[in-house]
Structure formats: structure tokens, C-alpha cells
Amino acid sequence: MSYQTTFKAALFGLAALGFSGVAASADQLADIKAAGKIVTATDMHYAPFDMLKNGTYEGMTKDLFDGVAKELGVEPVYQDIPWTAELPGLEVKKFDIVIAPVTITPERLDRYTFTLPIADATVSLVKAAGNKDIGKPEDIKGKTVGVQQGTAQFKQLQAYGDKLGGVTVKEYGTTDEAYADLAAGRLDAVAGSLPNLTYLVKERGETFALLEPASFGEPTYFAWVLRKGDESASFAKAIDDALLKMTDDGQIKAIQEKWLGTYTELPREVPGQK
């Protein structure tokens, strides 16, 4: 065999290995099943979805994702990551999926793959229980309202405030910080998703109260987020199939009622996803 023939054969072998490697790593679900685990990211300070109680992770998200991971036959690995670092971390493949409840928006749909909705995310308002100056959403005009930074609720609050003629928006790293300032009288209200605020009032009704009506703006939904592209397609479908199965057999209804005290039927497809 000549040197030239040997060299060509070596190049062909390297190319074959390269293509083989791409094929092997192009299916995220296959990689996850081979590893036997799903590495997740969430913010464990977002009750009732994600909470740390005496150092133990619990909440609606965990119950839902435990069920999904069981359907997929793998173990979930839960990581507590600040919300503002979650989507950037997903993009550079620090974890497989963001399971913090992420509001589905047109802008995010262009950049990420969303699972089926896991909960209602319609923006709502809560006040201190003894506050008689605010009753309905329009009453926040000229007031100071807290909201978690980087959220869809923040953008909706800003837009609503502009429509009303002015609202001072104060951003917080976590909702717990916003609730603390509301309880201390440093805020007039806090904006957040309806499930979060419903749970807050359920647990601390002596301190907080929902506005009537609590919600404003267009109905929106929470979902989980994967990277965009063909690599994640089978992974997203497997999660959606698991969620539909859990819906049809009553698991999701039981989980919602456990954490929210009520059940909301959710879309069986991703709203707005093409």
C-alpha cells in the first residue's frame, strides 16, 4: 500500500469517526438515557413551584418533573441556579433543561424550545392585607410595585404602568425579597404570576391579599425550556408525551390541587409555537 493510499485511508477514517461522533451527540434524549440522568436548573425561591424547606428541595415543579423523569426512566438532578443565569447557562450547555417556570413569550419562542405548559402564568397583583388604598389593578397608578427582575411579569407590569400613566417599578432578585419589602411597607404591591400569588395568600393570608380582580393583561402560561434545534426535538417530545400521560391519568390534577388548591386545564400544545 502506498503512502498516499494510507494517508487517504487515515483521512477517511477520521472523517468517519467525526461524523459518527456528531450523530451520537445530535440526539439529546439518547445522551440523557445513556447517562441515566437529566441535569436541570431552577430557582428554588419561587413558591409554590420551587422551594427549599430546611435544606430540602420541594414544590410543584419537583413533583411534576419527578413524574416526567420517571416516565423517561432516568434520574433528575436538581440544581439551584439564580433565575438570571438559567437561560444563558442552558445555551452554553451547563444543564439539559430549565425547569424553573418560564413564561412563554413570542421572543423566547424564537430562541428556545418550550415544553407543553405546566401552569397558568397570567400576571397578577398582591398587596398588604391591611392596605385600603388599593383594590383593583388600576389603583397602582402612581404607586411603587415590586417584581422579580428578568421575568415576563416585569415587562407586562412596565407596559401596564405606562398605559395607566405611571407606576414606579422596583426590581428584585427573588420574589421572597419583594414580599419582604411589601410586608414591611416599602412597596404598595407586588406583581407576579397568579399561581405564585395565590399560594402566597393561601399561606400568609394575615399579611397579604390579592387585588380584585387580581390579574391583568393577556393570559399566559409557564413551561420548561430546552435548547433550540433538532438535537432537542426528541427530548422535547418525550417530555410532552409524559406530561400528556400525567394529565390523562390525573397526576397533574392532583399535583395542582396539592400546591394551588385548585385545578386549571392547560393547553395540549405549546401556545404560539410554530
In this structure, the strands spanning 144-148 and 189-193 are parallel
Q: Are 72 and 34 in contact (CB under 8 A)?
A: no
Residue 210: closest CA among 274, 131, 272: 131
Average pLDDT, the chain: 90
Question: Mind listing the pLDDT tens digit for each residue in 187-225?
Answer: 999 999 999 999 999 899 999 999 999 999 888 999 999
Q: Place 26 in a pLDDT band, splitting at 50, 70 and 90.
A: confident
Do 172 and 149 share a structural domain? yes
Do 74 and 43 share a structural domain? yes
Q: Is 66 contained in some domain?
A: yes
The residue ranking higher by pLDDT, 20 or 204, is: 204
Do 77 and 188 share a structural domain? no
Do 204 and 234 share a structural domain? no
Do 131 and 201 share a structural domain? yes
Percentage of the residues of the chain whose pLDDT score is greater than 70: 91
Do 116 and 225 share a structural domain? yes
The residue ranking higher by pLDDT, 148 or 18, is: 148
Q: What is the DSSP letter of 268?
A: S
DSSP string, 95-123: SSEEEEEEE--HHHHHHEEE-S--EE--E
Do 205 and 128 share a structural domain? yes
State the average pLDDT over residues 128-147: 96
Do 142 and 203 share a structural domain? yes
pTM: 0.77
Do 228 and 211 share a structural domain? no
List phi, psi (to 5°) of 264.
-120, 120
Residue numbers of the domain that contains 228:
28-120+220-260
Q: Are 104 and 151 in contact (CB under 8 A)?
A: no
Whether 9 shows a pLDDT value over 60: the answer reads: no
Report the amino acid identity of residue 264: T
Do 73 and 86 share a structural domain? yes
Do 141 and 115 share a structural domain? no
Dist CA 180 CA 178 (whole Å): 5
Contacts of 22 (CB under 8 A, 6+ apart): none
List phi, psi (to 5°) of 188.
-90, -30
Number of domains in the chain: 2
Do 224 and 116 share a structural domain? yes
Question: Which pLDDT score, from 0 to 100, does residue 273 have?
Answer: 79
Q: Are 99 and 224 in contact (CB under 8 A)?
A: yes
Q: Is 11 contained in some domain?
A: no
Residue 130: CATH number of its domain? 3.40.190.10
Q: Is 113 contained in some domain?
A: yes
Question: Which pLDDT score, from 0 to 100, does residue 8 have?
Answer: 39
Question: Mind listing the pLDDT tens digit for each residue in 76-100?
Answer: 999 999 999 999 999 999 999 999 9
Question: Which pLDDT score, from 0 to 100, does residue 134 have?
Answer: 96
Residue 223: closest CA among 203, 208, 240: 240
